[in-house]
Every structure is written in C-alpha cells, then in structure tokens.
Structure 1
Amino acid sequence: MDLITPGFGLIFWQAVVFLIVVFILGKFAWKPILKSLKDREDSIDEALNEAKNAKEEMAQLKAENEKLLADARLERDQILKDATAAANKIREEAREEAGKISAKMVEDAKTTIQNEKKAALTEVKNQVAELSLLVAEKLIKKNLEEDKAQKALVDDFVKDLNVN
C-alpha cells in the first residue's frame, strides 16, 4: 500500500522540484513561448485585418466596376441613339434631295416638251404660211393674168385700207 499512498517526504520533494521546474520554465521557456504565441496571434489578427481590408477594397472596386459598366452602357446607348438619329436624318435628307432632283427633272422635262411643242407649232405655222403663200401666189397669177382682174383686186385692197 506504500505505492498507492506516497509518503510526506516524497510529496514535499516532488512539490519542490515541480516549483523549480515551473520557475525555470517561467524564467526561460514560458516568456519566449508566450512571446511567440503573442506574435503569432498578432500576425493572425493582422492577416485578418488585411483580409478584411482587401475584402472591402474588392467590394469597392466591384462597385466602381459596376458603375463604370453602367456608365459605359449608358454611353453606348447614347451613341447608338445618336447614330440612329443621324442615319435617319441623312436618310430623310437623301429623300428630300431625291424629291427635289426628281421634281427638277420633271420640271426640266416639261420645259423641254413645251419648248419643243412651241418649236414644232412654229415650224408647222411656217410651213402652212409658205404653202398658203404658194397656193395664193399660184391662184393670183392665174386670176390676175387679165387687166380687169388686176384692177378689181387693187380696188378691193384700197377699200380694205379705207375701212381699217
């Protein structure tokens, strides 16, 4: 039973040795161990803070990227709207110009037709006048071969002159 219940002397020396070991460990080992644990804890806290800062920075960059993307989309939409408006304006101007050109061509064609019509009518009138003169000349030559007929014609002209 001695092994189960140790004597007072054994407990005393074990307590003294334990206190000496605790003192030596406290003096030489615990401070470096605690210092290294504190350093490790500080480095972990610092890493966590850096991770938190990086996360916040990433969130901020993501927000900035989304804002830039939204601005780029708005700018793209505005450019597309402006391009569509410019294309519509150019198309409308081209239609107006084509309308003006076709109206001018129709007007020129009408003018040309009128000029050619007048020229044709003038030519027909001249030909009719020439034919009438030829017919009249032949008739007069035939009718005025006698002196009597010539005197009657001169009298008719004189009467016409007095009347007018």
Structure 2
Amino acid sequence: MNINATLFLQAVVFAILVWFTMKFVWPPITKALDERAQKIADGLAAADKAKTELAAANQRVEKELAASRNETTQRLADADRRAQAIIEEAKARAAEESNKILAAAKAEAEQQAVRVREALREDVAALAVKGAEQILRKEVNASVHADLLNRLKAEL
C-alpha cells in the first residue's frame, strides 16, 4: 500500500468521523451545554431576585420593628401618664377623705364642747341651788324657784 492512499483513506475516515460527530454527537452535547448554561443563568437570576427580596424583607422588618418600638414607647408613656393620673386621683380622694374626717372630728368636738358646756351649766346651776339653799334654808321652795334657776341656767 501506498502512503498517499493510506493518508487519503485516513483523511476520508477522519472526514466521516467529523461528519458523524457533527451530525449525531455534537448536537446533544451542545444542547446539554445550552441547558446547563440556561439553568445556571436561571439560578443566578433567582439568586439575584432572592437577594432583592431579602433586602426588601429586611427593610419591612426594620419598619415593623421601628413601628413596634414607637408603639411600645407610646404605650409606656400612656401607662406613665395613667399611673400619674391614678396617683393624683388617689391623692385627691385621700385629701377629700381627710377633710371629711377632719370636719367630722371638728363637728364631734363641737358637739362635745356643747355637751360639756351644758353639763357645766347643770353643775353650776346645781351648785348655785345648793349655795342658795344653804343661804336661804328657811325659805326654799323648789317649784317657785325652778323658773328662776332655769333663767340662771340659760344665762350661764
């Protein structure tokens, strides 16, 4: 055999191999590579989308946290104001109650003073009658002098 014929035959076989590879082997490989590239591109796009969604979710969380902090602060302030109002109301009620108790005590003291004065008048009247009775032993008539003693008691 001739080297030229062998070389020619090898070139023909190589050309058939190239044609067979181009026709039957290369399209599934390129299709698989294209699909793989598409999957990678979709994955990267999904990752970017997830990243933006995560950033948006973080912003929403921050807004919600800020809102809850503000609400908590406002509720604490309201609770403090309410506590102060309750304390002031309790102080006012206590002052009112102490004023009532003081007024009742003054009224009781006034009544006791009136009773003591009345008892003192009775005692003074009794002493006056005893004194007058001792001075006037001769002429003491209780029914006649009762009016006189009542007037004396009223003057005292």
| TM-score between the two structures when normalised by the length of structure 1 | 0.76
Comparing both chains, which one has the higher relative contact order based on Cα–Cα distances under 8 Å and sequence gaps of 6 or more? 2
Aligned-CA RMSD value:
1.9
The residue aligned with 2:88 is 92
Q: Which of 58, 61, 70 is matched with 2:57 structurally?
A: 61
Q: Which of 99, 123, 129 is matched with 2:119 structurally?
A: 123
Q: Which of 8, 12, 17 is matched with 1:21 structurally?
A: 17
Q: C-alpha distance in 2, partners of 1:19/1:63?
A: 62
Please say which structure displays the higher CA radius of gyration: 1
Q: Which runs of 4+ in 1 moved over 2 A?
A: 7-19
Q: C-alpha distance in 2, partners of 1:72/1:137?
A: 95
Q: C-alpha distance in 2, partners of 1:94/1:11?
A: 116
Q: Which moved more, 1:116-125 or 1:54-63?
A: 54-63
Q: How many residues align?
A: 138
The residue aligned with 1:139 is 135
Gaps of at least 5 residues in structure 2 are: 141-156
CA drift of 1:9 comes to 4.8
The residue aligned with 1:42 is 38
Q: C-alpha distance in 1, partners of 2:59/2:9?
A: 69
Supply the AA of the counterpart residue of 2:116.
A
CA drift of 1:27 comes to 0.2
Q: Which moved more, 1:15-24 or 1:84-93?
A: 15-24
Deviations 1:14-44 (A, max 9, x none): 4333322111101001111000100111111
| TM-score between the two structures when normalised by the length of structure 2 | 0.79
Q: C-alpha distance in 2, partners of 1:111/1:73?
A: 56
